[in-house]
Chain A
Amino acid sequence: MRIKAQVAMVMHLDKCIGCHTCSVTCKNTWTNRPGTEYMWFNNVETRPGPGYPKRWEDTDRYKGGWELNNGKLKLRAGGPISKLANIFYNPNMAEMEDFYEPWTYDYDHLIHSPKSDHLPVARPKSQVTGKYMDKPEWGSNWDDDLAGGSEIVPLDPNVEKMQEHIKMEYEKTFMMYLPRICEHCLNPSCVASCPSGALYKRDEDGIVLVDHDACRGWRFCQNGCPYHKVYYNWNTHKAEKCNFCYPRTEAGLPTICSETCVGRIRYIGVVLYDADKVKEAASVEDPQDLYEAQLSCFLDPFDPKVQSEAREAGINDAWLEAAKESPVYKMAMKWKIALPLHPEYRTMPMVWYVPPLSPIMNHITNEDELNTDGYIPAVDQMRIPVEYLASILAADDKEVVRKVLLKLSAMRVYMRGKTVGGVDEFKQSELVKQANTSPEEIEEMARLLGIAKYDERYVIPTGRREMDDDLHYKQGTCSLEDLAPQEGLHPTFGYMKAREKNYESG
């Protein structure tokens, strides 16, 4: 057993109002420099829709993530040798068109234009070339709220493969929001795709980062990530990605997207996992078993054996306590209401999603008479087809999604009975049994999901540097140390040695 801690996130999709506050605060924090205009470490997609970049889920084209090849886990885009052969031109890499050409407006013209008969306008101007653009034709949220409708929706790869016909008539269609950040995967294919070893997963908190000193611009990570969450900076020729706001999480604060989330949909907590199990779990034959396999990597923070081993592995008590209170552990592992995004990519993503409930399609004439058990068939008639959710969150396994929706419905019915009344027979009902829950669990769930107190949503222990750092060494050092540390010429040689020591076959 090799215990590591991971800071992870859950997003409760029911509460996302699609306001993009998260994207904007993230952009203002991290990606407001030249070369990063098109990067949205956090973006919010309207689903069904092609997403950002366009059709990122089209793994046949971008070849992101892993696949099982004769029982062995292989990068879909090809292993090291084929990467080196394709290093001069990466056939699978997305180009600017797949994202969009970032633009601004010529605001200055509004102020300085000479007197004229017409109102001055601010023309769009490319942020890449600085030239005027005729008209912008695509952007990161061009299809927001189903804009583009029946022309754009069929571009969604999940829709393409659906058996069920998606209805686009106004009264019958459906939509949901999908906020996305880097998944900080347990088995990150971006890391494995980097020829220079510039991407790495942090031991202490599992955050996946790019070492900008080591990045050489070989750009295999951009499409190596099946979620398309590594971006190539065309200005610096280096890769950039979501860093889980590590300067904030190290200080015990939530990421900026979470902090500012209007819908309070985001939860951050610590989970413990066994790094030795990851590769095996990612290699199970049937993609539909990946979800359970991933769950089997996590360790029970209440188990004394786990605790003592974790202490031995250098995880301190503050982290162990946080692991017990972790909302992520509760929602994803204990209650199993949060699911990983596209588990079939085999990267073991660590941002989990509580699927949204939606109105029931077949109109229920008298809702007061709907008895408790009536909700069981209703789950299959929700406006957002279970098939669609299963395609996004469960490798097409509808049963997994059904179970979650049933549990959430049970919570709704129970809480309604409690506050409004009229649902007395709940405890004995079939719904409780089928949803595999209990009133106690439901009350706990309802508190975390509904009341969502700040300090229950974010249980983040501060970074572990104070206990590991050699304070004696630091005494009296100054910033020049970064250029010429007293122990040697250049830190890179130091990084490399440390890196080798930390190399662990995955």
Chain B
Amino acid sequence: MTGIFWWVIFPYITVTIMILGLLYRYAFRQLTWAAPSTEFLEKKWLRFGSPLFHWGIIFAFIGHVMGMVIPIEFYHALGISDHAYHFGAIYGGGLVGLMVVAGVVILLIRKITIDPVRIKATFSDFFAVLAVLFVAATGTYMTIIYNTTVVEYEYRLTIGPWFRSLFMFQPRYDLMENVPMIFKIHVIAAFALFASIPFTKLVHIFSIPIKYPTRPPQQYRSRSNYKRQGL
């Protein structure tokens, strides 16, 4: 029963909260939709913390696609041995994990010690940083410490297929039964983080301005025509 809750109900509920919350906020609360920049208040710590963290997150995202989304058969077909994969995952992933953790820790210290940044931070700002830190720390712990001291855990046979099965709406929760505790915690924390996104400034994740390089530099908008032309 608990298996069904954590590996079927919980992921769907959290993702539903995320999607509905985002839609609501996008439709009605655009004025609050922004990256929570505090660069105006403090630059020196941010200069290291923010790029370290964000570039780390981008690589970590790629890493998760490689581990969770791409099936193990794909690697076998390419002739990449399990050992070679894990060698890369532990060193590459470990480095990226450390980047993320170091970045968030710098941001957190900054948030606590720099007066204007702390005083201007809301509960949700702190919550976002702490939640990201928790998820990143468990993830990095798994990659570096668990994998090297306990066992090179083959998540591509359990967590990966389970994750993909969520998208097929045929969740194979049985696969998660024997997953080590620390991995379970990481996954649950990550889904909880997803659910919190619409309520924090983390919404900025969905606003990467990818269209910028292709749009003309100057923009005109007509005051009176937008309504009729646009709708």
CB within 8 Å of B: which residues of A?
4, 75, 79-81, 83-84, 87-91, 93, 95-96, 128-131, 187-188, 191-192, 195-197, 199-205, 211-219, 232, 234-238, 275, 463-465, 468-470, 473, 483, 485, 487-499, 501-506
Q: With CB as the reference atom, state the residue of chain A lying closest to B38.
A: A234
- Set A80, A89, A187: member contacting B46, Cβ < 8 A: A89
Q: List CB contacts (< 8 Å) of B3-45 with chain A.
A: 26-28, 30-43
A497 with B229: in contact, given A93-B40, A128-B116 (CB under 8 Å)? yes
Q: With CB as the reference atom, state the residue of chain A lying closest to B221.
A: A200
Say how far B32's CB is from chain A's closest CB, in angstroms: 8
CA distance A493 to B51 in the complex (A): 32
Measured as residues with beta carbon below 8 angstroms from the partner, the interface class of chain B is 35 or more
The A interface is mostly helix, strand or loop, or mixed, namely: loop
CA distance A121 to B14 in the complex (A): 55
Q: With CB as the reference atom, state the residue of chain B lying closest to A486.
A: B231
Whether B74 sits at the interface, judged by CB under 8 Å, is: no
A469 with B224: in contact, given A95-B40, A187-B218, A238-B34 (CB under 8 Å)? yes
CB atoms of A219 and B115 under 8 A apart: no
CA distance A487 to B229 in the complex (A): 12
CA distance A329 to B47 in the complex (A): 47
Say how far B229's CB is from chain A's closest CB, in angstroms: 5
Residues of A within 8 Å of B167, CB to CB, are none
Q: Please name 21 pairs of A and B residues whose Cβ atoms are closer than 8 Å in the assembled complex, sorted by A.
A: A83-B212, A88-B50, A88-B51, A96-B116, A131-B115, A187-B218, A191-B217, A216-B204, A235-B120, A237-B201, A238-B34, A465-B223, A468-B222, A470-B227, A473-B228, A491-B231, A495-B226, A496-B230, A498-B229, A499-B226, A501-B230
Extra inter-chain contacts (7) besides given A212-B30, A503-B219, CB under 8 Å = A89-B46, A95-B43, A205-B223, A216-B33, A483-B28, A499-B219, A502-B219
CB atoms of B231 and A237 under 8 A apart: no
CB atoms of B47 and A89 under 8 A apart: yes
Q: With CB as the reference atom, state the residue of chain B lying closest to A90.
A: B39
CB atoms of B217 and A81 under 8 A apart: no
CA distance A469 to B230 in the complex (A): 13
CB atoms of B34 and A504 under 8 A apart: no
Whether B79 sits at the interface, judged by CB under 8 Å, is: no
CB atoms of B221 and A499 under 8 A apart: yes
CB atoms of A202 and B42 under 8 A apart: no
Q: With CB as the reference atom, state the residue of chain A lying closest to B210.
A: A84
CA distance A128 to B42 in the complex (A): 13
Residues of A within 8 Å of B123, CB to CB, are none
CB atoms of A202 and B222 under 8 A apart: yes
CA distance A366 to B30 in the complex (A): 69
CB atoms of A237 and B227 under 8 A apart: no
CA distance A491 to B43 in the complex (A): 36
CB atoms of B216 and A503 under 8 A apart: yes
CA distance A506 to B46 in the complex (A): 34
CA distance A291 to B121 in the complex (A): 46
CA distance A95 to B41 in the complex (A): 6
Whether B76 sits at the interface, judged by CB under 8 Å, is: no
CA distance A275 to B220 in the complex (A): 10
- Set A195, A205, A215: member contacting B212, Cβ < 8 A: A195
CA distance A176 to B119 in the complex (A): 40
A237 with B35: in contact, given A129-B116, A218-B209, A473-B228 (CB under 8 Å)? yes
CB atoms of A219 and B37 under 8 A apart: yes
CB atoms of B220 and A202 under 8 A apart: yes
